[in-house]
């Protein structure tokens, strides 16, 4: 039965230190919450590079090639017709739409990829139950540890020792 142990930290350095310490102690399922992105937090939590760029690339390629093929098939293969004595397949006139569809699909991939990676939409999260956690999006920095209830006690002490305040524990299966 998993629970979250959350603690507020005053500055990002303390937060990073704490995160590092906990990982040394073997607590891997860590997360930090802050109103602005923090420097160095990624490596402190040991997070890998984001997959978003790859998703964007895939989307772009699919969109562009799809866009071009669509035009080629529709005007040159499926319904060929003499329009103003122009060639049925005119690459120059296909460029704009190819580009636009590339961008469109890529953008959609990025945004919905982002949502997927972040597990959005998720309006409710257990951490919200931690007292004072609202400040996470306003001005305070928080460290959260997802762990087994049995180990929550130890982590709480550890966090307090590392300078965390407002340390609290919220079970994941609250309601």
Partner 1 sequence: MSVDTKRHAAVVNRVDPLEPVPVLVGRPDDRELNQTLFAPVWAKTRKGWLVLFALALALTGLLFTAIGYTFAVGIGAWGNNIPVAWAYGIVNFVWWIGIGHAGTLISAILLLFQQKWRTSINRFAEAMTLFAVIQALLFPLIHLGRPWFAFWLFPYPSTLGVWPNFKSPLLWDVFAVSTYFTASLLFWYVGLLPDLAALRDSSKSHAKRVVYGIFSLGWRGSARHWRHYRIAYLLLAGLCTPLVLSVHTIVSFDFAVSQLPGWHTTIFPPYFVAGAIFSGFAMVLTLIIPARKAFGFEHVITEKHLENMAKVLLATGLMVAYGYLSEHFIAWYSGNKYEQFVFWNRANGPYAPVYLLMLFCNVLVPQIFWSGRARRSIWVLWIASILVNVGMWCERFVIIVTSLHRDFLPSSWAIFKPTVVDWSILIGTIGFFGLLFLLFLRFVPSVSASEVKELRRELEHEAAPPHPVERAAR
Partner 2 sequence: MSSVKRIGLPVVGQDGPDDAPDCRGADGRRHWRSLEEWSEGAAAAKAEFPRGAAFLPEALTRRGFLQMLGASAALAGVAACRPPRQEIHAYVRHPEQALFPGNPVPYATALARHGHAVGLLVTTVDGRPIKVEGNPDHPESLGASGRLEQATILDLYDPRRIEGFTARKQPKAYRTLLRELATVAATHEKDGGARLRFLTGATGSPLLLDLRRRISERFPRARFHAYESLTEEATADGARLAFGRALDTRLHLDGARIVLALDADFLSDGPSALRLAREFAAHRTPGPDMSRLYVAEAHLSTTGAAADHRFRMKPSEVLGFARQVAAALASSQGLGDLARIAGDAKPTREASAVAEDLARHRGASLVIAGPRQPAAVHAIAHAMNAALGNAGKTVDYAAPPTEEPAGPRQLAALAKDLAAGAVETLVITAWNPVYTAPADVDLEALLTKVPDVLYLAYRPDETSARATWVIGESHPFETWGDARAHDGTVSIVQPLVQPLLESISEVELLAAFLGEAEKGAYQLVQDFWRARSGAGAAFAARWGTWLAKGVVEGTAAKGEAPTVRFADVAGAAGQPPPKAEGLEASFVVDKLDDGRFAENAWLLELPDPITTISWDNAAMVSPRTAQELGVETGTRVELRLRGRKVDAPVFVAPGHADGVVTLPLGWGREAAGPTATNVGFDAGALRGSQAAWIEPGLALAPFGKRKHKLVQTQEHFSMEGRDLALSFDARAWEEEGPKRLEHLRGAVNAMYSPFGYDKQAFKWGMGIDLAKCTGCNGCVVACQAENNIAVVGKAQVARSREMHWLRVDRYFSGPPENPEVVSQPLMCVHCEAAPCEYVCPVNATVHSDEGLNEMVYNRCVGTRYCSNNCPYKVRRFNFLEYQKGKAPLEKLRMNPDVTVRYRGVMEKCTYCVQRIERARIAVRASGQNKIPDGELQTACQQACPSQAIVFGNLADPESRVSKMHQDERRYDLLHFLGTRPRTAYLVRIRNPNPALSA
Tell me the three state secondary structure of residue 71. helix
Tell me the three state secondary structure of residue 88. coil
Q: Which residues contact 76 (CB under 8 A, 6 or more apart)?
A: 88, 89
User: Which of partner 2, partner 1, none has residue 85 at its interface (CB below 5 to 8 Å by kind)?
Assistant: partner 2
Closest to partner 2 by CB, 35 vs 96, is: 96
Q: Determine the interface stretch with partner 2 among 65-73, 77-85, 141-149, 154-162 (rule: CB under 8 A).
A: 77-85
Q: Determine the interface stretch with partner 2 among 44-52, 60-68, 78-86, 164-172 (rule: CB under 8 A).
A: 78-86
Shortest spacing between CB 82 and partner 2, in angstroms? 4
Alpha helices in the chain (DSSP H): 12-24, 41-45, 52-72, 91-118, 149-161
Shortest spacing between CB 140 and partner 2, in angstroms? 55
Scan residues 98-157 and list those touching partner 2 (CB under 8 A): none
8 is a site residue for partner 1 (CB under 8 A)? no
85 is a site residue for partner 2 (CB under 8 A)? yes
First to last CA, the chain: 13
Residue 143: is it exposed, middle or buried by C-beta count within 10 angstroms (0-12/13-18/19+)?
A: buried
10 is a site residue for partner 1 (CB under 8 A)? no
CA distances from 65 to 1, 37, 92, 100 (A): 48, 36, 15, 11
62 is a site residue for partner 1 (CB under 8 A)? no
Closest to partner 1 by CB, 73 vs 161, is: 73
152 is a site residue for partner 1 (CB under 8 A)? no
Which residues are at the interface with partner 2 (CB under 8 A)? 81-87
């Amino acid at each position: 039965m998993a629970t979250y142990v959350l603690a507020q930290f005053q500055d990002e350095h303390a937060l990073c230190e704490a995160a590092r310490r906990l990982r040394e102690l073997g607590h891997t399922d860590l997360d930090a919450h802050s109103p602005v992105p923090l420097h160095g937090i990624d490596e402190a939590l040991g997070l890998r590079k984001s997959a978003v760029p790859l998703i964007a690339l895939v989307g772009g390629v699919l969109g562009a090639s799809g866009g071009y093929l669509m035009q080629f098939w529709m005007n040159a293969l499926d319904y060929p017709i003499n329009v103003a004595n122009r060639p049925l397949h005119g690459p120059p006139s296909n460029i704009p739409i190819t580009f636009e569809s590339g961008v469109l699909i890529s953008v959609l991939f990025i945004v919905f990829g982002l949502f997927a990676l972040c597990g959005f939409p998720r309006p409710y999260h257990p951490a919200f139950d931690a007292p004072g956690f609202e400040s996470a999006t306003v001005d305070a920095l928080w460290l959260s540890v997802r762990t087994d209830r049995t180990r929550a006690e130890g982590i709480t002490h550890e966090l307090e020792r590392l300078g965390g305040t407002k340390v609290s524990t919220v079970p994941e299966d609250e309601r």
